[in-house]
């Protein structure tokens, strides 16, 4: 036990009365208060104060522990939130990359479509030019063929006219020669004269008929 003299007890009591400072802790249980009721009362008060102080400290400690636990849980929740946020951010970045890739792919397809359209227009222009060239060549061939047909037709007509005239002239000359020979040889020319006249008439008629027919065919073919 700890024993204080009267002077020390008085100083401890005055210190508590004036400044509310007292002894605390387990040492209070070792103070000898026998024979001094007033000091015993103060020690009892100090013990009660110490008990309240300890209780407050314990409550504060428990509160701090609870707060620490809550802070720990909050920190874990925050870390999980940060982790989830990081994952979301990574997912967003991946999505943005996919969107960018899709945009680039769309741009590439658009450029290819433009190139294909330009190529199609170029092919269309070339086809039109080829068609115009073919039509021009066709027209030129038709013109050449028409010219050739006309030339062939004219040559054929000329040949027919020449042969017909040659035959007509030959027959006329032969008939005329026979008639002249009969005249110069004092033969009877009555039959020969009528024959010669008929033949010449027929030849002239046939000649004009052939020429007229040929000219009519040529005129009709030109129309």
Q: What is the pLDDT of residues 26-47, one digit of tens each?
A: 666 656 666 666 667 767 777 7
The pLDDT confidence band at residue 48, using thresholds 50, 70 and 90, is confident
Give a yes or no: residue 187 inside a domain.
yes
Domain boundary, last residue among 44, 67, 82: 82
* Per-residue confidence (pLDDT) for residue 171, from 0 to 100: 75
Give a yes or no: residue 117 inside a domain.
no
Domain boundary, last residue among 34, 62, 82: 82
Q: Residue 212: give the domain boundaries.
A: 150-222
User: What does the alpha-carbon distance between residue 51 and residue 17 come to, in Å, rounded to a whole number?
Assistant: 19
Instruction: Write the DSSP assignment of 11-58 as a string of letters.
Output: HHHHHHHHH-----SGGGGGB--TT-HHHHHHHHHHHHHHHHHHHHHH
* Per-residue confidence (pLDDT) for residue 35, from 0 to 100: 65
Give a yes or no: residue 98 inside a domain.
no
Q: What is the mean pLDDT of the chain?
A: 78
User: What does the alpha-carbon distance between residue 54 and residue 188 come to, in Å, rounded to a whole number?
Assistant: 189
Give a yes or no: residue 97 inside a domain.
no
Q: Is the pLDDT of residue 223 over 60?
A: no
Lowest average pLDDT, out of 61-70, 100-109, 140-149, goes to 140-149
Number of domains in the chain: 2
Question: pTM for the complete prediction?
Answer: 0.35
* Per-residue confidence (pLDDT) for residue 214, from 0 to 100: 75
Return all residues near 179 (Cβ < 8 A) that are at least 6 apart: 189, 192, 193, 196
The residue among 205, 208, 203, 181 whose CA lies nearest residue 192 is 181
User: SS3 helix, strand, coil % of the chain, rounded to 5?
Assistant: 90, 0, 10
Give a yes or no: residue 200 inside a domain.
yes
Tokens of 196: 């010669």
At which residue do the structure tokens 């009362």 appear?
Answer: 41
* Per-residue confidence (pLDDT) for residue 29, from 0 to 100: 63
């Amino acid at each position: 036990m700890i024993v204080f003299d009267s002077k020390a007890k008085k100083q401890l009591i005055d210190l508590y009365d004036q400044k509310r400072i007292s002894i605390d802790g387990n040492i209070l249980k070792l103070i000898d208060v026998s024979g001094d009721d007033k000091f015993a009362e103060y020690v009892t008060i100090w013990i009660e104060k110490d008990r309240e102080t300890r209780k407050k400290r314990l409550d504060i400690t428990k509160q701090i522990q609870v707060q620490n636990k809550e802070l720990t849980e909050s920190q874990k929740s925050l870390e999980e939130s940060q982790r989830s946020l990081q994952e979301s951010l990574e997912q967003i970045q991946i999505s943005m990359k996919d969107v960018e890739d899709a945009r680039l792919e769309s741009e590439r397809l658009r450029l290819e479509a433009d190139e294909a359209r330009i190529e199609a227009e170029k092919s269309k222009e070339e086809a039109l030019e080829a068609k115009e060239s073919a039509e021009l060549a066709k027209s030129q061939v038709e013109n050449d063929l028409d010219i050739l047909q006309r030339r062939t037709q004219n040559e054929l007509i000329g040949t027919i006219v020449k042969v017909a005239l040659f035959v007509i002239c030959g027959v006329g000359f032969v008939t005329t020669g026979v008639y002249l020979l009969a005249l110069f040889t004092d033969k009877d020319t009555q039959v020969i004269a009528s024959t010669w006249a008929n033949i010449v008439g027929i030849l002239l008629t046939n000649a004009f008929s052939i020429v007229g027919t040929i000219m009519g065919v040529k005129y009709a073919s030109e129309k």
